[in-house]
């Protein structure tokens, strides 16, 4: 259930029986021909579907993330890691103050990974708050489902092209793009990143069958549901 569909009385009543909560993290950044909000759309939708299935409240996803290396692409927004870490820490402290104790963070963007370390160190002084930080797209189950379709799959390729991230009236290149993901990519100046990546796809075809995409999605929902139900320490 979305927090947007609850009032405070309902949260208070929920907290008498359960203390789990879900917080999605996204990003607004270039995704080649797909929506700039792809990482936000995916983590938010996954959170809502998982939370609704488990009867656990889901907070609105954060639409922004850490993506300085994409800043030469118009439309990209990037937040400084410390600022982002502070912001998420304030959210977590608010959740603890409300009475939540187990927080599943569903992260939809690889560049947000520094946030995990920041919040873990800040929240170390609040041991009653248990945090699961789930990079949903890179899990074993989801990656297994993706690689069963094609191993050439990465940022802004077919693997992020769901009916809810593609844009109307945008035609996609019919060819498959060769992998283009040097290990030092995030350290390069943004203009170099753009000239290296071109359209922004890191490699792979631009679209797969929707049957395959829906199957990958169901894998992600099932895995995240299991984590929300059984991933806690006690």
Positions touching Zn ion (CB under 5 A) are 38-39
Rounded to the nearest whole angstrom, what is the least distance from the CB of residue 150 to Zn ion in the complex?
17
DSSP-assigned letters across all residues of 36-86: TTHHHHHHHHHHHHHHHHHT--BPPPB-----GGGTTSTT-----HHHHHH
In the bound state with Zn ion, the residue whose beta carbon lies nearer, of 38 and 161, is: 38
Residues across the chain: 234
User: Which is nearer to Zn ion, 38 or 76 (by Cβ)?
Assistant: 38
Q: Are 154 and 203 in contact (CB under 8 A)?
A: yes
- Which C-beta is closer to Zn ion: that of 40 or that of 100? 40
Looking at beta carbons only, is 19 or 39 nearer to Zn ion?
39
Element holding 103 (H helix, E strand): strand 102-107
Kindly state the smallest distance separating residue 114's Cβ from Zn ion, in Å.
17
Task: Give the separation between CA 212 and CA 153, rounded to whole angstroms.
Answer: 13
- Which lies closer to Zn ion via its Cβ, residue 39 or residue 223? 39
Q: Which strands form 102-107's sheet, in the order they lie side by side? A: 20-25, 102-107, 130-135
CB of 116 to Zn ion, least distance (A): 17
Q: CA 111, CA 217: separation in Å to the nearest integer? A: 21
Least CB distance from residue 95 to Zn ion, whole Å? 25
Cβ 135 vs Cβ 107: under 8 Å: yes
Q: Is 92 left (phi over 0), alpha (psi -120 to 50) or beta?
A: alpha
CB of 31 to Zn ion, least distance (A): 6
Distance CA 151, CA 216 (A): 14
Which residue number, 38 or 219, has a Cβ lying nearer to Zn ion? Answer: 38
Q: Closest approach of Cβ 108 to Zn ion, in Å?
A: 7
Which residue sits closest to Zn ion, CB atoms considered?
39
């Amino acid at each position: 259930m979305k927090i947007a569909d609850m009032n405070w009385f309902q949260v208070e009543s929920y907290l008498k029986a359960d203390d789990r909560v879900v917080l999605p993290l996204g990003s607004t950044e270039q995704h080649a021909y797909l929506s700039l909000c792809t990482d936000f759309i995916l983590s938010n939708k996954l959170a809502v579907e998982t939370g609704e299935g488990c009867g656990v409240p889901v907070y609105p996803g954060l639409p922004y993330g850490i993506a300085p290396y994409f800043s030469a692409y118009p439309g990209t927004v990037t937040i400084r890691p410390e600022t982002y870490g502070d912001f998420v820490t304030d959210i977590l402290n608010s959740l603890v103050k409300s009475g939540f104790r187990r927080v599943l963070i569903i992260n939809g963007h690889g560049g947000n990974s520094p946030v995990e370390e920041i919040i873990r160190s800040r929240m170390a002084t609040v041991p009653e708050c248990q945090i699961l930080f789930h990079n949903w797209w890179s899990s074993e189950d989801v990656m297994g489902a993706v690689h069963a379709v094609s191993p050439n799959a990465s940022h802004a390729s077919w693997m992020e092209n769901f009916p809810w991230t593609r844009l109307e009236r945008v035609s996609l290149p019919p060819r498959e793009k060769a992998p283009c993901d040097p290990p030092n990519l995030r350290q390069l100046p943004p203009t170099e990143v753009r000239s290296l990546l071109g359209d922004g796809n890191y490699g792979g075809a631009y679209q797969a069958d929707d049957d395959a995409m829906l199957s990958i999605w169901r894998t992600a929902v099932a895995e995240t549901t299991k984590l929300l139900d059984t991933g806690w320490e006690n």
